[in-house]
Structure 1
């Protein structure tokens, strides 16, 4: 028996990078997987590559209407939602003095409000069904300050706090909420960020891979982590040690 047999999962930001790696691991472990993104062509290509158990949905995580349509559509098609991975996010490298209000609002809308809407919409369904696992992708920037990424760090600290609050809120309903905190991970988002030699400060001497993050997310999505709730899981090559 595979680790996610019979589970229904939604992974936001699933078109590429960590989200696509998570979708691949989930599908290999027997889940029916919905990946959502605003990158339609890349999302459809990823779903096609991963096979019939993976479906792509267009989804702007900042849109309340999109969240209602996506979660409602999955519930109508499958009758339940067992796993939500709030993976969608953007990285904006700018110090506080160089961050415009428009940039701030965009980062917060995607990285923080998108997670709030996901917790709320999936949480309503999971609470009724009496089970579920929500995995919020934060960052090591949500564990310590980052002087060169002010809005990004603020948003990831917020994800950490929302995770703990939701875990307490839903704990008696059979719904678990945990956060994952990657460090320097070799993805398109990191490569596009313009950070010079991003792995230079990693004690193990290399960037992590999307698969290494996906393995931790898989554990939290599965019943193997049934007593893990409201906690941070760090995937950073000892950066925060």
Structure 2
């Protein structure tokens, strides 16, 4: 496969930073994108010229256009998109607000939609083009008090399938990873302890383990895989009735 260039959102820390690290190790040039500009710059400093930090609000169409343009200006193309940015928002239905509900949807579902649209021209022209969306086991079964988060991830699951079906004939693969509980700043320490206690595997996932799954789905080893849903959850889904 020719030189690969990936744009990764939510790249400042956690899963996103691990994805950037893994792709860089695989020889991929990366545009690491996030709203957390200072953390993002610090996290990519070690990688030299093959990784650039790009500020990005995934809910803004104009910001997406600028991020793709910056990537192409620096690396000459864009061959892969990783829609990893997400927010976890918990509230009971009775306590949820329209603002809280819509905020989750804007980041978790509208953001990937805008990203695919912004990258589409470059992906159509690329060899081995691929998109990976970070979904969730919350889009496999329902968790109480997760109306905004869960429904937005179910929507992202649907968007992934529609995009895979629509773009397959254009040479663009679209897949999703479904992480279970992962040891990232998204989960507070108390939640992490509770999830470890109830886990069939006795631990949380590591960001690098999600990054491995993403790297596989972007690679030429996955060239015949599209519309796939790769669950990486340490068996969490086995416990969901």
TM-score by length of 2: 0.94
Of residues 123, 134, 137, the one that matches 1:137 is: 134
Q: Deviations over 1:149-208 (max 9, x none)?
A: 110000110111000000011001110000000000000111278566122222111100
CA contact (8 A) 1:130 1:173 kept: no
SS of match in other structure, 1:240: helix
Q: Is residue 152 of structure 1 aligned with residue 149 of structure 2? A: yes
User: Which of residues 43, 46, 64 is equivalent to 1:67?
Assistant: 64
Measure how far apart 1:29 and its partner are: 0.9
Structure 1 residue 73 displacement after superposition:
2.2
What are structure 1's unaligned runs of at least 5 residues? none
CA deviation vs aligned residue, 1:57-97 (integer Å, no higher than 9, x gap): 11000000000111122223323211110000110111222
Aligned residue in 1 for 2:85: 88
Q: Does 1:8 align with 2:5?
A: yes
Cα separation, 2, equivalents of 1:160 and 1:101 = 22
Q: Counterpart of 2:42?
A: 45
Quick one: distance in 2 between partners of 1:137 and 1:193?
24
Residue in 2 that maps onto 1:206 = 203
Give me the whole-angstrom Cα distance separating, in 2, the residues matched to 1:130 and 1:31.
14
Q: Which moved more, 1:116-125 or 1:189-198?
A: 189-198
How many Å apart are 1:5 and its aligned residue?
A: 6.9
**Deviates most, 49-58 or 142-151:** 49-58
Q: Is the 8 A contact 2:91 2:146 kept in 1?
A: yes
TM-score normalised over the length of structure 1:
0.94
Aligned residue for 1:99? 96
Tell me how far apart the structure 2 counterparts of residues 103 and 232 of structure 1 sit (CA, whole Å). Answer: 27
In 2: Cα distance, 1:10 partner to 1:192 partner: 30
3-state DSSP class of the match of 1:96?
Answer: coil
**Is the contact made by 2:2 and 2:127 (CA closer than 8 Å) also made in structure 1?**
no
2-structure distance, mates of 1:196, 1:102: 29
Separation (CA, whole Å) in 2 of partners of 1:195 and 1:154: 22
> Which residue of the partner structure matches residue 30 of structure 2?
33
Asked whether the equivalents of residues 219 and 225 of structure 1 are also in contact (C-alpha less than 8 Å), the reply is yes
Alignment partner, residue 114 of structure 2: 117
